[in-house]
Amino acid sequence: MTNKQDQAALGGPLAGVRVIDLSAVLMGPYATQILGDHGADVIKIESPEGDSTRWIGPGRHPGMGPLFLHLNRNKRSVALDLKSPQGAAAMRHLIEGADVFVHNLRPASIERLGLDYERVSAINPRIIWCGVYGYGEDGPYAGRPAYDDLIQGAVGIAALQQRSGASEPRYVPLTIADRMVGLHAAHSVAMALYGRERTGRGCRIDVPMFETMASVVLSDHIYGRTFEPPSGDAGYVRLLSPGRRPYETSDGYICALVYNDGHWQRFLRAIERDDLWIDPRFANLSSRTQNIDHVYGFLGQTLREKSTAHWLALFEQIDVPAVPLNTVESLFDDPHLAAVGFFRQVEHPSEGAMRTFGAPARWVGYDVNKLAPAPRLGEHTESVLRECGFDAAALASLLNGGAAVPVVADAEASFRPLLALSREKPPIHP
């Protein structure tokens, strides 16, 4: 076997792949977290101030908040001042030995740093260069800042919330755009690596948030606007029905989907309403979709009559999909998640005991269960630079000049000045 095959046999499918991760906040770090979960050696390049997500949420030490801890597992932190000549030179040296470069800076910013595709590929022609940012460079929105909330509004998600029954436009209470675009970036990088194995060529990948999320939304909601001339309005009517929600029972709520013809036949028989099967509104999937408000209204009225336990037992008996309504809090006690070992208790070197979860997919033939702890700021600055060929004198020059920042033994003391600064002017959070 080749060296890479040996490495892959011992770890995840991306073992032996080195990723230089110049991304911050959520979208880019989520993409590189996925790459790290699957075995890549992810080198997270942070400014001396650190990724802003270090400061989001309750934590035991400053700069080690929960969002950061989960987004940045399986990574090593190198703190560099890329605006300094020495820091920029160190970054170029890191790129020489890398397979992948990921960033989520705006194009103008990445050019100012000298890390655009043309200059990075000149250093390393085999590099997979992936830029993740707001808008494609060919349109009038190019270069604009983009955050999850803004993109949800721009692609119609907030308006869809109102159209489906909310009193006003609302954002989905998830960083859904950041997560979806991060997923697209991760699988794009993986495909590019496969292509390079066949061709030997690196490439540039641009993953714009707006266009990516527009494709996600329109995959469902282009609907009648698919055709020219249109055969109807945009908007998948089943998804937009105000009745598409957890159903109230006599003692709580249930999530049930009486969907296909078999489901409806068995359900109507079980509640002794076979007469409705000859109602044209219930006759088939097409007619039920056309009359979805009536159908969901009937279902909602029916389920209010008996308890959640009654309906769960009945739906299981007649093979109709249904689950109880969980809260985020009740997920921690979910019996299925417990049975599959979803949650893990790990010991973080500086943060102590913490609950986490790994990659959800199960692999046979590769080990994707590694959960290296999220790093302290600059924790691996010295070790990574040594790996890349910096001798003691060169490393000392970088550190003494402030172009590179090592981890400080007293982590809390090292963050104290930044914490004071954040109190004066809180960082912008997504």
The mean per-residue pLDDT over the stretch 326-330 comes to 97
DSSP 137-156: TTSTTTT----HHHHHHHTT
State what percent of residues in the chain have pLDDT above 90.
91
Amino acid 342: pLDDT: 96
Could you give the residue ranges of the DSSP H alpha helices within 38-84? 66-71
pTM for the model stands at 0.91
Amino acid 421: pLDDT: 32
The mean per-residue pLDDT over the stretch 240-251 comes to 97
Q: Is the pLDDT of residue 354 over 90?
A: yes
Confidence of residue 297 (pLDDT cuts 50, 70, 90): very high
Amino acid 420: pLDDT: 34
State what percent of residues in the chain have pLDDT above 70.
92
In the block, residue with structure tokens 């010991």: 347
Amino acid 370: pLDDT: 86
Amino acid 419: pLDDT: 34
Exposed, middle or buried, 274 (CB in 10 Å: 0-12/13-18/19+)? exposed
CA angle 226, 232, 237 (to 5 degrees): 95
Answer yes or no: are the C-beta atoms of 381 and 78 closer than 8 Å.
yes
Q: Is the pLDDT of residue 413 over 80?
A: no
CA of 240: how far to CAs of 226, 284, 320, 340, in Å? 17, 19, 22, 34
The mean per-residue pLDDT over the stretch 342-351 comes to 95
Q: Give pLDDT tens digits for 356-402.
A: 999 999 999 999 988 999 999 999 999 999 999 999 999 999 999 99
What are the chain's domains?
Answer: 3-216+343-424 (3.40.50.10540), 247-324 (3.30.1540.10)
Q: Is the pLDDT of residue 24 over 70?
A: yes
Amino acid 7: pLDDT: 45
Amino acid 408: pLDDT: 64
Q: What are phi and psi of 215, to 5 degrees?
A: -65, -35
Amino acid 11: pLDDT: 84
Q: Is the pLDDT of residue 340 over 80?
A: yes
Q: Give pLDDT tens digits for 161-205.
A: 999 999 999 999 999 999 999 999 999 999 999 999 999 999 999
User: What's the CA gap between 392 and 304, in Å, rounded?
Assistant: 73
Q: Where are the beta strands (DSSP E) in 182-279?
A: 203-208, 247-248, 253-256
Amino acid 147: pLDDT: 96
Q: Is the pLDDT of residue 239 over 90?
A: yes
Mean pLDDT estimate for the chain = 92
Q: Running DSSP on this structure, what letter comes out for residue 73?
A: T
Q: Give pLDDT tens digits for 260-270.
A: 999 999 999 99
Confidence of residue 279 (pLDDT cuts 50, 70, 90): very high
Amino acid 428: pLDDT: 29
Q: Is the pLDDT of residue 3 over 60?
A: no
